[in-house]
Every structure is written in structure tokens, then in C-alpha cells.
Amino acid sequence: MHNYKITIEYDGSDFVGWQRQDNGLSIQQLIEESIQKLTNKTTTIIGAGRTDAGVHAKGQVASFELENFIDTDTIRDGLNHHLRPHPVAILSTEKIDADFNARFSAKLRWYEYKVINRRAPLTLQNNRVWCVHKTININKVIEQSQFFLGKHDLSSFRSINCQSKSAIKSINSFNVKKNEQEINFIISAKSFLHSQVRIMVGTLVDIGLGKISKSISEIISLKKREYAGVTAPPHGLYLTKVEY
């Protein structure tokens, strides 16, 4: 068997998420069908991150095996041909060691969440960022974001649909950058709980709007979802990079 790694970019707006589901088209299903069209073989691909419906990716990674060797450029170009006209692109293809697994070999996953803070509605960036119309106290957001760093029980920041056995996660980095009206949240960790990034961002925005008076440290210690803020909408979230 020959093991391949692909790096993928996609607009998640019209998909049910990464993972194959019965209620609509997923990124996984679309790529698996494209591999079948290219190779005439049924293949299961393994993704590095199970992005939710509406979430985008600039650097999603997946791996899969093929019985017969195919040149990496042929795989990239052939899959891109069969993926049209869907907003999904294979950026690169690599032949890798047999023991590589896109999910379990990952050492660090990077996400970016984009917020536009302005009164006017969105036009060009609609479905690409979260538009917050009231003024966000960015200094308070930056200050509170640093309390996420390190190892914590993040029960307050997990979806009720989360199936993870443990809520203990380690956040490697959490940077908040503001450029005029745009606020970018850049977060890295080995793994995340279901909707964790969106709940963390939503909570920080609520703190910046004055809707939540508790600190991030307090909310973490309470270990209950009800004390955290809103779940930020999926369309502002991007899986940007996976490190191995």
C-alpha cells in the first residue's frame, strides 16, 4: 500500500462539515468520491481536524492509502479536476511513511477566528467573518485571552454534543491581533473539544462587550458551559495549519 498526505483548502459554507454524514454533503465524502473517480477504487480518508458545518480551512490535512502508486502531481491535479465546481482545492500531495496518520500523528493544530467590529453590515466578507456591531474593548479581550494558556479543564468551553472523554486540554498559544476594524484570534493546541475555539472566542467577545463580568479564570474554574459566552458563528473560523 502507498500512503499519501494531502493539504486542503475549502470554503465550508455549503457543507455539513468535514466528516461524512447522512444529512448532507461533507468535505470527506466529496474528496473520497473524487479519489474513486480518479483511481476506480473506494478509499477512506482520515482528516486532521473534524471542522463543523460552515467552518473553513486554509490548511486542512488528510491521509489515505492506495494499492497502486500514482504520481503526487497527478493526484493533486486529478482530484482538483473532479472536485470542480465545489469550493475545495488540493493544495499539495505528498507520499509519506506507512505509519503516518493525519489525525493521530498531528502535534499541533492552528485555528484562526476572524471578527469585523463595525456598525455597517458586511458585503465582501459575508460568510467569511463574524461581524460584531457594538464596540469591543480590545484591551480587555487581549488581557483575558492569556488566561487560556496552559493546561486546564475546559468543561465551560465545550459543546453539549462533545464526545471527548476528558475536558482537559492544553493551549499552546493564544494571540489576539487588531488591525483597524478586524480582530484576529490565533490559537494553537494539540487537540480541541467540540466547538471549543468558537466558545472561547464568543466568551472573549462577550467580555469585551461588557456582557460578562466574570474573568476567564473564574469561568474555567466553574467548569459549567452556562457561565461562558455565546458560541461564535462557524463562518469566522479557519483551520489554518497542522504541524507534524
102 falls within a domain? no
Please check whether residues 8 and 80 belong to one and the same domain: yes
The predicted model gives 75-88 an average pLDDT of 97
pLDDT > 90: what percent of the chain? 94
**Would residue 52 show up in a list of annotated catalytic residues for this protein?**
yes
Please check whether residues 125 and 239 belong to one and the same domain: yes
Could you give the number of structural domains in the chain? 2
pLDDT digits (tens, 9 = 90+) for 86-128: 999 999 999 999 999 999 999 999 999 999 999 999 999 999 9
pTM of the complete model: 0.94
Q: What is the mean pLDDT of the chain?
A: 96
Domain hosting residue 193, numbered range: 108-243
Please check whether residues 181 and 232 belong to one and the same domain: yes
pLDDT category, 161, cuts 50, 70, 90? confident
Please check whether residues 136 and 61 belong to one and the same domain: no
Q: Which is the catalytic residue, given 14, 22, 52, 206?
A: 52
103 falls within a domain? no
Please check whether residues 72 and 112 belong to one and the same domain: no
Final residue belonging to a domain, choices 31, 63, 96 = 96
Please check whether residues 86 and 144 belong to one and the same domain: no
CATH number at residue 236: 3.30.70.660
Please check whether residues 89 and 149 belong to one and the same domain: no
pLDDT at residue 162 in the model: 83
CATH number at residue 61: 3.30.70.580
Please check whether residues 226 and 193 belong to one and the same domain: yes
Please check whether residues 118 and 193 belong to one and the same domain: yes
Please check whether residues 83 and 132 belong to one and the same domain: no
185 falls within a domain? yes
Please check whether residues 92 and 122 belong to one and the same domain: no
CA proximity to 52, closest of 34, 33, 26: 26
14 falls within a domain? yes
Strands 46-47 and 130-132: unpaired
